[in-house]
Amino acid sequence: MTERSGLIRCRSCRTINRIPAQRIWDRPKCGKCKSFLSFPAGPVEITNANFPAEIADWPGNALVFFWAPWCGHCPGVMIQVKDIARERAGMLKVGLINVEQERMLAGRFGVLSVPKLILFRGGAIVDEINGAVGKGDLDAWLGHF
């Protein structure tokens, strides 16, 4: 994915479409089935079942937030992550993984404490942050990618 385009998966035929950034808000259509494309305006709940389709096989950038209901810092970071998802809709896929419900994924990615953020590109880990982070720091970190 380039800086000037976003990726959107068609809900009808599941084809991944590359959309120029300036056209993201113009109700683009799928190149294959011609259905109107839409993208989540917020984070996607990630489970062991949908991880391959949503993150591992995603060709663009994906930010995954590992959190737990008992974590004191997670609600504050969750607000920042939801803001990022809304601000970068269509340009950055954002996923949420509840480590209490998805212990296999937490183990797979070595999550020993929460909050934890992992940035993927093309399904591979690019970088990660352990611990709470503010919106400015999160924006600066994502700006490097």
In the chain, the DSSP E strands lie at 5-9, 16-20, 44-45, 61-67, 93-98, 116-121, 124-130
* 13 carries an active-site annotation: no
Phi, psi of 110, deg, nearest 5:
60, 35
* 71 carries an active-site annotation: yes
For residue 52, cis peptide bond before it (omega within 30 degrees of 0): no
Catalytic residue among 10, 30, 33, 71: 71
Catalytic residue annotation: 71, 74
